[in-house]
Amino acid sequence: MTSSSDDERQSARVRRARPPVDRTAEPVASDWSHRADLAESAVVSRHLRRLWAAPGTRLGVVGWPPRRRERLYFTWNYWWQAHLIDCAIDAANRDPTPARTRRVARLARAHRLRNITGWCNNYYDDMAWLALTLERAERNRGIAKVRGGLRALEKELIIGWQPRIGAFPWRKGADYYNTPANGPAGIALARLGRYARAEEIGDWLDKHLRDGETGLILDGVHLPAGRVERPLYTYCQGVVLGLETELAAHTGDFRHIDRVQRLLAAVQDQMTDRSVVTGGGGGDGGLFNGILARYLALTALLLPGEEADQVGARSVAAAIVKASARAAWEHRLEVEGEPLFGPDWSRPARMPAGKGGAGGPTGHGSVSASTSPERDLSVQLSGWMLMEAAYLVTAAGL
């Protein structure tokens, strides 16, 4: 695999950075930083390479060990790459280095080139995820070259909202209005200062997709038919926690705080076991639990209020992140000294069995799992995302 000298030096530095973690002790922030370093190094060494030998680019190969078509980026998965950039920003925020900032810029450049037609596509969930990533790249890392892409994506989010419905369709021209599009779109709009629209989206999600029986957030609804798709996914809970936390922090309106508290209680009761997030898969599903962990960490850090309920909610969110991270770390495989995470953090990870059975489009706009989900970049990004989240909440003393 080709890689820049910057990437090679960074990987080597990470592997030599600190002595092994004492597993008998409760991990502290420096332990989680070391583990996040190793998760970063694993993704860099196994998955990152130039896009079509173009200078100044890096993109994630979607499977490891890779197939030829994956190495050539015939398959690349737009929204996975957005989360790859987000994880690279996490690492650069945690321990800033010039190499890490360059990597963020190279990943963003490669994303734009591989998308061929520009920054945008026809899927509002995809575009919302990339908007969130580019906003962070500019705000946190000062990468001004992404500004044009962020403006193009913001424009799509402005014109794509359907006032008659009060929400975004999953993709342009679709009748399906779902949480995976509206959750991240609402967070992106809030971070871009469009709080009124973000609040409308939060209200729509709470009214139409919060399940009255479980308190969890459903996947979506077909309109105007009104047929609800009732699967319960961890990432739907994550993005709504993120949106309501952003709104609570900005507005102080108790309805947003209350929604976070109620949804967090439902997640704890029904989607964790001893505070470890349960289940998991590959393909697109490989990102679901990592997204929940990212926004649980946001809730732990940003949910306002000093009453017992708010303090307790922040504590619960942090506890789920840390328990899940401990489980994922204990169940990892080590390959050449670097972690390989499993899709289910409560079960031992397995070495991918060859290159066959790689995930591909399902025909419904999603990507299926590889035969060995550990192959999938999505699964490894979730593990990296989780280590970064555990660092954040531990460094904050939570």
Q: Does 6 score more than 80 pLDDT?
A: no
| Strand partners for 340 | 333
**How buried is 24 (Cβ within 10 angstroms: 0-12 exposed, 13-18 middle, 19+ buried)?**
exposed
Q: What percent of the chain has pLDDT over 70?
A: 91
The arithmetic mean of pLDDT across residues 347-373, rounded, is: 78
Q: Encode pLDDT of 35-55 as tens digits.
A: 999 999 999 999 999 999 999
The arithmetic mean of pLDDT across residues 57-61, rounded, is: 98
Q: Does 13 score more than 90 pLDDT?
A: no
The arithmetic mean of pLDDT across residues 287-310, rounded, is: 98
The arithmetic mean of pLDDT across residues 196-224, rounded, is: 97
Q: Encode pLDDT of 126-179 as tens digits.
A: 999 999 999 999 999 999 999 999 999 999 999 999 999 999 999 999 999 999
pLDDT of residue 367: 87
pLDDT of residue 4: 43
Amino acid at 346: S
pLDDT of residue 358: 57
Q: Encode pLDDT of 230-270 as tens digits.
A: 999 999 999 999 999 999 999 999 999 999 999 999 999 99
The arithmetic mean of pLDDT across residues 312-341, rounded, is: 98
Six-digit token pair at 280? 């998991």
